[in-house]
Amino acid sequence: MKATATAHPNIALVKYWGKRDEALILPHQSSLSVTLAPLSVTTTVEWGIGRDEVSINGEPARGSELDRVVAMLRLVRSQPARVVSHGNFPKAAGLASSAAGFAALAVAARAAAGLPRDVRAESTLARQGSGSACRSIQGGVCIWHRGTATDGVDSYATQELKADHWPELRLLVAMVSREEKEVKSRDGMRSAVETSPYYEAWTRDAEEEVPRALAALYAKDLKAIGEIAEKNAWRMHATSLAADPPLCYLKPQTLEVIAALQGLRRDGVPAYFTLDAGPNPVVLTDAKHEAAVEAALVKLGASSVVRCVPGGDATVTFE
């Protein structure tokens, strides 16, 4: 009745930004991501205790965070559980900690309940905690298929390329701000869906970019995937900038980093950004240029740079 799972976060190169069903967490568009090692969240679930107890990074979970964890547990069993979760990176700084957290929770909750491993069932369950979590069950490159069913049965992620497909790929998280973001993804995307005049165009465009992004990753074409990632991130942010009230996740330092990447590229250093709903750019480059890109990011004022490579599948251990 007790199991532990570890999952990596993921960074979307073609992003999910908007739900067509808030309760089931069904997206308006498909999305594509790469898992990020060595970042990870490890979660232990133990069923059959007196009442639900949830601790995240040593602190008891409260409010909506607690409600979301308990709601996911109830999808597995109607019994209380103890959940203890630890991540090796800061929460809510735009670094998709909820993706790794809900992926690890989904895998551990099912394993502790004695259910066999089933990546589709795990992805579907993780999706209902945090949409992007459905892309952290498997490693490498995953696509979350938006699906069309109203009950969400066809909305889950599949692994398209394994973690070792492109070992030279590097993803550098440039920490320009450690503040928790003011508007959570959940609220930001709702406002984009409801008020942005660009929303429909954003959705159509993102859906078309998914197969192109996969082809670029398959071909290990850094320029091609970099250009797709940048364009898609700008379009997601443009959609929210056009919302009412406008929503801007970028900080001055974010723009400084983004502008400097163009200079690096002119000097022959391949470096392309993506940006989730937060101020910290994630920069795509390759092993050969990793040190040069890291040095440039530090010089631009990043307080730290987290070097990542494509990560593997979520794993389970029993005690």
Which residue ranges make up the site for ligand PMV (CB under 6 A)?
A: 12, 15-17, 31, 96, 98, 130-132, 185-186, 276-277
Compute the least distance from the CB of residue 97 to ligand PMV, in Å: 9
How big is the chain, counted in residues? 319
Structure tokens given for 105: 């929770």
Indicate the residue among 15 and 28 with the shorter CB distance to ligand PMV: 15
Compute the least distance from the CB of residue 1 to ligand PMV, in Å: 29
Beta-strand relationship, 31-37 and 304-310: antiparallel
Indicate the residue among 115 and 198 with the shorter CB distance to ligand PMV: 198
Indicate the residue among 2 and 184 with the shorter CB distance to ligand PMV: 184
Compute the least distance from the CB of residue 132 to ligand PMV, in Å: 3
Indicate the residue among 15 and 82 with the shorter CB distance to ligand PMV: 15
What's the number of CA atoms in the CB half-sphere (13 Å) around residue 121?
A: 11
Compute the least distance from the CB of residue 17 to ligand PMV, in Å: 6
Is residue 270 within 8 A of residue 226, CB to CB? The reply is yes
Indicate the residue among 126 and 296 with the shorter CB distance to ligand PMV: 126
The three-class DSSP label of residue 302 is coil
CA distances to 115, 116, 203, 275 from 76, rounded to whole Å, are 9, 13, 32, 33
Indicate the residue among 96 and 243 with the shorter CB distance to ligand PMV: 96
Indicate the residue among 35 and 185 with the shorter CB distance to ligand PMV: 185
Residue partners of 279: CB distance under 8 A and separation at least 6: 94, 176, 177, 179, 181, 249, 250, 251, 253, 254
User: C-alpha angle with apex 247: 243 to 252, nearest 5 degrees?
Assistant: 140
Indicate the residue among 163 and 247 with the shorter CB distance to ligand PMV: 247
Task: Please name which of 134, 131, 105, 109 lies closest in space to residue 119, comparing C-alpha atoms.
Answer: 134
Compute the least distance from the CB of residue 277 to ligand PMV, in Å: 4
Compute the least distance from the CB of residue 15 to ligand PMV, in Å: 4
Cα-trace Rg, the chain: 19
Q: Angle, nearest 10°, between helix axes 119-127 and 97-112? A: 130
Compute the least distance from the CB of residue 96 to ligand PMV, in Å: 6
Compute the least distance from the CB of residue 5 to ligand PMV, in Å: 18
Residue 133: Cβ-neighbour burial (10 angstroms; 0-12, 13-18, 19+)? buried
